[in-house]
Homo-oligomer: A and B are copies of this chain.
Amino acid sequence: MSQREFMSEPPDSPTSVGWTRVRSARLADAASPFSLESGGVLPVVDVEYETYGRLNRSRSNAILIVHALSGDAHAAGWDRDAGRMGRPWRARRPGWWDAMIGPGKPLDTRRWFFICSNVLGGCYGTTGPASPDPATGAPYGLRFPIVSVGDWVRLQARLIDHLGIRRLHAVIGGSLGGQQALEWALALPDRVANCVVLASAPRLSAQGLAFNAVGRHAILSDPNFRNGDYYGGGPRPTEGLAAARMMAHITYLSEEGMHRKFGRRLKDPGKRTVGFGVEFEVESYLDHQGKSFVERFDANSYLYITRAMDLYDAAQQWGGGDLVAACRRVAARAMIVSFSSDWLYAPDQSRELALALCRTGRPATYVVVPSYHGHDSFLVQVNEVGRLLRGFLAPGGGA
């Protein structure tokens, strides 16, 4: 979620997946519309996805990577289509989990076939609020139906069908992606053999709900939001979206991480503080995060995706409120990884999931990685996460 801190690897490196190509599949149409948990129906759904590595003959080596709130299908390598698609930021850096996916990397493309798709309601090529409503030809805006983690997973299953894959070797995701990984194991237990849930939880805490609510408030009250109909030109609700992102960023880091990275250092120590501009380094950092985010993300998608994050509740959905009962559905081997300084999806919440799985007798591994990077650890603690993933995916491997 933060700017990654590891080095980016050039596309010609032997351990990079190299140049990647955006793919798209129409997974719902008039003949097979896509019904949503909220009751809505989408007559057309296109999904953007990427793949890395090769599907083997028995189609048994596929692993689905699921992205978090602001992620996309471009998990690894360098996007060949960045210019053509109007995504200049992709020309500046590789995919969001490039450190993890590639030949010889923990998610080894010499052995596995990886798929990553953009979520429904997003703004990176999959149908969302900016897409044209076939009924009117105009962008959906807030007429787009509410989507859920469960919807995302069912749509990912359609993509897997489309690719001719019956059963995934694994689903792997962090944060909101971890909730999708868990939902795969709960909703489609016969279609996934292994499940990795990083920096996530079976549901968002009250504090997490509160942060999402304030972020949406900032967007909804931006006068340029215009009830979501801002696609026709003119200013967009960039200030509201920037404020939402800045606030969310605080929840992605930890107090210790912020202290180490910025402390109370002034941006310009020679200058006497005179006003309300950027004075401290941490202000400068957040300011940059807000500004760069609005260039690449759509405010409506932010609303839809955070609401899906709010509403996900694995125990409620599958166990009538009882997480252990829900976990009885799981057939996959699971690895649950939390990070000591993560306070958005705190270790206690991951632990609750791991305990519930253990109580049902399912093979589950639970790891707390010591880290001061907060929630972002799943993206930046490359060595630790890599070691865990490598071990878990090794034949007969545990964590």
Contacts and interface: CB of A to CB of B under 8 A. Distances in A.
Contacts of A303: 276
A280 interface: yes
A25 interface: no
Contacts of A255: 205-207, 343, 346
Contact of A262 (B206, B223, B290): B206
A203 B247 CA distance: 21
Given A246-B217, A282-B213, A207 B258 contact: yes
A280 B209 contact: yes
A273 B146 contact: yes
A193 interface: no
B38 A213 contact: no
Contacts of A396: none
Contacts of A359: none
A311 B279 CA distance: 10
Interface in A264-293: 264, 272-276, 278-280, 282-283, 286-287, 290
A216 B239 CA distance: 12
Contacts of A41: none
Contacts of A279: 310
Contacts of A275: 142, 146
A351 to B, nearest CB: 15
A303 B274 CA distance: 12
Contact of A205 (B223, B246, B258): B258
Greatest chain B CB density within 10 A among A217, A272, A313 is at: A217
Contact of A220 (B39, B276, B307): B276
A273 B311 contact: yes
Given A207-B250, A207-B253, 19 more contacts: A38-B273, A146-B274, A203-B264, A205-B259, A206-B255, A206-B261, A206-B280, A211-B247, A213-B286, A214-B246, A214-B250, A214-B286, A216-B276, A217-B286, A217-B290, A220-B276, A221-B239, A223-B223, A279-B310
Interface of A: 38-39, 142, 146, 203-207, 209-211, 213-214, 216-218, 220-221, 223, 239, 242-243, 246-247, 249-250, 253, 255, 258-259, 261-264, 272-276, 278-280, 282-283, 286-287, 290, 303, 307, 310-311, 313, 343, 346
